[in-house]
Structure 1
Amino acid sequence: MPFALTDEQKLLQESVDRFVERDYGFDVRSGVAESENGWSAENWARFAELGWLGVPFDEAAGGYGGGPVEAGLIAEGLGKGLAVEPYLWTVVLGGGLLARAGRNDLLEELIAGNLQLATGFAEPQARYALHDVATKAERSGDDYVLTGQKAVVFNAPSADRLIVPTRTAGGQTEARGITLFLLPADADGIALRPYRTMDDGRAAEVTLANVRAGADAVLGEVDDGMALLAPAIDAATAVLCCEAAGVMQALVSQTREYIGTRKQFGVPLSSFQVLQHRMAEMFIHKEQTQSMAYMAAVRAAAGDGPVAARAASAAKAYAGEKGKSVGQEAIQMHGGMGMTREMPISSFFKRITMIGSLFGDADHHLDRFADLAGGRTG
């Protein structure tokens, strides 16, 4: 399948790379990560000014008519700089759900940089199964009462709104009977236990205790929330794999530079053939991850359903396995220095490790790919 960037996509790619190179060095990134919020409101405002927050959305919502491919280009560039701003969680996943639900009013706020989102797609008992939802939403007059717990809700500490999948019908693991609710993050009954993740992100355990929500808080159709959630997660997975390609590019580049200057027996480490072979393997893994990520993004943009789901799982399985391999090789070739916090390589390794488990690890997606290829969608 031929794939080439358009002139507009190339300009977008160049703008992100330029921002990271000029204004998002590792020292700047480290300072932002250590701040109270864990990301920069100033950078977020700049993202809005540059149009990056509106790139994936339709012009009717105030966007620029792009999609997962354009979001992937931004994510890949931000991955090279290890950016901690919540682009994936607010724009790609949260915004993707709002777009699918036709909430253009809120998308306009998001695109302007005035709305932060978090999605509680995981629960303590569910591991990677999106349809394993124990959080309940029960009718109480004209309203719903929500009770349950969501685990590892990324960007929840900064979110203005939470998107919460709940069980409104059926058994705990049935795909049918799930309803999405859009809730104010400060609604009565919502409690957060925030924490910092190993890759310097921010997340929280979210508890819902008798949270009241009106019928207008429902995103999409009652009992059919998976129709929105599943394709949104697949598109976000494709974009995450694009970010993985960016992180892997940084790991390859920094390792190549290090072994080119570090000497052993009076010669650069890069002169040893065994290390040259290992660098070549790292580069191949990065290139293949990038190719599979953009294939998945193209499929998601086409709305291919099961085809897009298979492409997302294939890309994620490969990125999860080979990203770990590239990270381990980078650490090993840096030696003991690679394990220190002062060396950027250690932070990139933490991020590629975290990416490996987001939305499902390699084993999960290999199983899912096999199920989808066999015609089973459960």
Structure 2
Amino acid sequence: MDFDLSEEQRLLKDSVEGLLKSAYDFESRKKYGAEPDGFSRAIWGKFAEQGLLGLPFAEADGGFGAGSVETMIVMEALGRALVLEPYLPTVILAGGFLRRAGSAEQKANYLPGLIDGSKLFAFAQLEKSSRYDLGDVTTTAKPQGDGWVIDGDKTVVLNGDSADVLIVTARTKGGQRDRDGIGVFLVPANAKGVSRKGYPTQDGLRAADISFNGVVVGADAAIGDPAQGLPLIERVVDDARAALCAEAVGAMEESLKTTVEYLKTRTQFGVPIASFQVLQHRAADMFVALEQARSMAMFAIMASDFEDAKQRANAIAAAKVQVGRSLKFIGEQSIQLHGGIGVTMEAKIGHYFKRLTMIDRTFGDADYHLARVGEAGGVI
């Protein structure tokens, strides 16, 4: 199989890496994180100018019709730069729902603002008791007239405090963990009855706890079938898991690079500690872990296009297992090889470790996905 990038893909890689290299060093990241939204609106605008926000959408909808490999290229670059901007919640998650199941009217109403950067989105799915179960939903959407009334609470909604539009999972019928009876709804963040409490997350991003109290939306707010939305949710979240694997590879790659550079400059007993064979071996083990994760991340990206839901989910779960194991090893080794300075706010390596740890726990950690692979009888 040919894993070489096409000319267009190489140009995309050079473009996004060039943008981040010129505008996103570690000191600039600190400044962006101190802005009111927790990220830079100016950088988000540059993403839009370069077409990064429109990559996965069809040309008929104003996008570029790019595929999963292009998403991998962008996510790896964002991981290397430790980007704060809400690409995952807006483009991958919200954009995924609109791209895969949005009506022509919904696409016309929401995609232009997403693609030009003027509208931000968030996916409100997680609840206090649901953990990693996408089908565990207590938030309700009850019919009223020709619309719906939404009630419930969502937690740790990534980019939830600055989003203009929320994509909300809600139960239209059945019990708390029934697969049937789950819908996906577009809800304006400023709608009456929506209250948000924003806060920073451990990795420097932002999230919000959001309450919906008698929030009224129209019939056109439902994305797809309001009673059979779980397969759509699982498909979009699988896309997000594959994208997170790619982001983790970028962050691990930069962690290894930063650690090796530190080993070459830090001296002990009058010589660089990189001359110590035992540390060379640890760096070599980190490289092996990175390449294992890279291979599985590429597998996940390819698997995200599988039409068979079980085959796709199993493959991406397997990738999440390996990526989770690798990022834990590389993160821990990076901190240990830096010593005490590695856990200070001034050292960027600690921030990479935090982000990698959060990636592992987003939409299921390595242990959770290992159990899924086991239940499926292994990777087929």
With over 3 angstroms needed to count, the CA separation of the structure-2 counterparts of 1:374 and 1:328, relative to structure 1, is closer
Cα separation, 2, equivalents of 1:66 and 1:301: 13
Aligned to 2:91: 91
1:36 maps onto 2:40 in alignment: no
**Paired amino acid for 1:352:** L
- Secondary structure of the residue aligned to 1:219 is coil
Aligned to 1:211: 215
Measured after TM superposition, the shift of residue 136 of structure 1 is 0.7
Cα separation, 2, equivalents of 1:115 and 1:303: 30
Aligned to 2:78: 78
Measured after TM superposition, the shift of residue 155 of structure 1 is 0.6
1:128 maps onto 2:132 in alignment: yes
1:322 maps onto 2:339 in alignment: no
Cα separation, 1, equivalents of 2:369 and 2:68: 19
Aligned to 2:107: 104
Task: Say which is worse superposed, 250-259 or 205-214, in terms of deviation.
Answer: 205-214
- Secondary structure of the residue aligned to 2:376 is helix
1:269 maps onto 2:289 in alignment: no
Task: Say which is worse superposed, 67-76 or 46-55, in terms of deviation.
Answer: 67-76
Is this contact kept in 2: 1:167–1:178, CA < 8 A? yes
Cα separation, 2, equivalents of 1:36 and 1:283: 38
Question: TM-score, length-normalised on structure 1?
Answer: 0.96
Give 2:257's match in structure 1, choosing from 227, 231, 253: 253
Cα separation, 2, equivalents of 1:19 and 1:222: 40
Q: 1:14-29 counterparts in 2 under 5 A?
A: 14-29=14-29
Is this contact kept in 1: 2:242–2:297, CA < 8 A? yes
Aligned to 2:179: 175
Measured after TM superposition, the shift of residue 141 of structure 1 is 2.4
Aligned to 2:370: 366
1:5 maps onto 2:8 in alignment: no
5+ long unaligned stretches in structure 2: none
Give 1:189's match in structure 2, choosing from 187, 190, 193: 193
Runs of 4+ residues deviating >6 angstroms: none
Is this contact kept in 2: 1:150–1:206, CA < 8 A? yes
Is this contact kept in 2: 1:168–1:178, CA < 8 A? yes
Aligned to 1:348: 352
User: How many residue pairs are counted as aligned between the two chains?
Assistant: 375
Measured after TM superposition, the shift of residue 224 of structure 1 is 0.9
Q: Deviations over 1:104-157 (max 9, x none)?
A: 212222111122110012110001000000001112222211111111000111
1:293 maps onto 2:331 in alignment: no
**Paired amino acid for 2:75:** A
Cα separation, 2, equivalents of 1:143 and 1:17: 45
Aligned to 2:237: 233
Cα separation, 1, equivalents of 2:207 and 2:185: 19
Question: TM-score, length-normalised on structure 2?
Answer: 0.96
- Secondary structure of the residue aligned to 2:52 is coil
Aligned to 2:338: 334
Cα separation, 1, equivalents of 2:181 and 2:298: 32
Cα separation, 2, equivalents of 1:83 and 1:62: 25
Is this contact kept in 2: 1:192–1:205, CA < 8 A? yes
**Paired amino acid for 2:49:** E
With over 3 angstroms needed to count, the CA separation of the structure-2 counterparts of 1:32 and 1:226, relative to structure 1, is same
Measured after TM superposition, the shift of residue 90 of structure 1 is 0.2
User: Identity rate of aligned residues, in percent?
Assistant: 46
Measured after TM superposition, the shift of residue 340 of structure 1 is 0.8
1:305 maps onto 2:313 in alignment: no
5+ long unaligned stretches in structure 1: none
With over 3 angstroms needed to count, the CA separation of the structure-2 counterparts of 1:5 and 1:304, relative to structure 1, is farther
Aligned to 1:198: 202
Cα separation, 1, equivalents of 2:60 and 2:229: 23
Cα separation, 2, equivalents of 1:189 and 1:288: 47
Is this contact kept in 1: 2:90–2:122, CA < 8 A? yes
Measured after TM superposition, the shift of residue 302 of structure 1 is 4.2
Aligned to 1:153: 157
Is this contact kept in 2: 1:310–1:373, CA < 8 A? no
Task: Say which is worse superposed, 243-252 or 50-59, in terms of deviation.
Answer: 50-59
Give 1:222's match in structure 2, choosing from 226, 234, 241: 226
Is this contact kept in 1: 2:44–2:85, CA < 8 A? yes
Measured after TM superposition, the shift of residue 304 of structure 1 is 4.0
Is this contact kept in 2: 1:82–1:247, CA < 8 A? yes
Task: Say which is worse superposed, 308-317 or 128-137, in terms of deviation.
Answer: 308-317
Task: Say which is worse superposed, 121-130 or 96-105, in terms of deviation.
Answer: 96-105
Cα separation, 2, equivalents of 1:93 and 1:194: 19
Task: Say which is worse superposed, 96-105 or 234-243, in terms of deviation.
Answer: 96-105
Is this contact kept in 2: 1:69–1:301, CA < 8 A? no
Cα separation, 1, equivalents of 2:15 and 2:152: 42
Cα separation, 2, equivalents of 1:38 and 1:137: 31
Is this contact kept in 2: 1:20–1:80, CA < 8 A? no
